[in-house]
Amino acid sequence: MAQDMARRSLEIVLIGPPGAGKSTIAEALVAARPLVLISTGQRLRAEIKARSRIGRAVAGALAHGDLAPDSLMDRVLRAGIEALDPAQGVLLDGYPRTMRQALGLDVMLADFGRDLDAVLALEVDDDEVIRRLGGRRICEGAGEPFPVHIDDLASMLRCQERGGVAVHRDDDRPEVVLQRLAVYRAQTAPLLAHYGARGVLRRVDASGSPADVARRAVAALAPNAPVAR
């Protein structure tokens, strides 16, 4: 696998519970590796904001902490991969989230002559998730939206200085966070055993500062990094 990863584009999946910092870690991975990020969550939120047909179809489910239908997610992801140059590697954030999606991903990648290289699993406990999401805001109106936290004065000031507004996402409300965690445990966490059995799983401790977690995630993609089971 290490030789394959060295000579062709990488196909990476990023998995973790809500609040694990997937968006932040995805940015670090894209900066460190030749990867194009496809974040299905960002794409769905953009569709909701635009009040498109897809956005209207998923808005209710996401607002209550549930997952979008598999068939719709397949369409969103296929469109993203189809737009890539075949030589570009891909980092998937937000897909797969169910076993059905994981099996469909194998077929989809094969359709484009691609094969999954690694699954990075960010691991963090529920109490930390609740703390993070309870204070998380999204800076909007300052270019591409980016996450900030009410406990991180520097990020809040950066948003303000750029003319942005810190917005509390509906799916970060406490009752919705608990539902999202329950959905993750029931539908997404089982994928870890699936990918562990395939020999592509790499676990990453997602506690601590974003910079520390980013370093661990980048290191987990090294050819000699340990593979989890």
Catalytic center residues: 22, 97, 136, 169, 180
Structure tokens at 177: 């966070």
CA gap 118, 215 in Å, rounded: 17
In the block, tokens 């950066």 appear at: 158
- In the chain, the DSSP E strands lie at 11-15, 35-39, 89-93, 118-123, 136-140, 146-149, 165-167, 201-205
Amino acid at 80: G
Q: How many residues does the chain have?
A: 229
Residue 94 DSSP SS3: coil
Residue 167 DSSP SS3: strand
Q: Count CA atoms closer than 13 A to 150's CA, side-chain side.
A: 9
Structure tokens at 25: 């870690």
Residue 37 DSSP SS3: strand
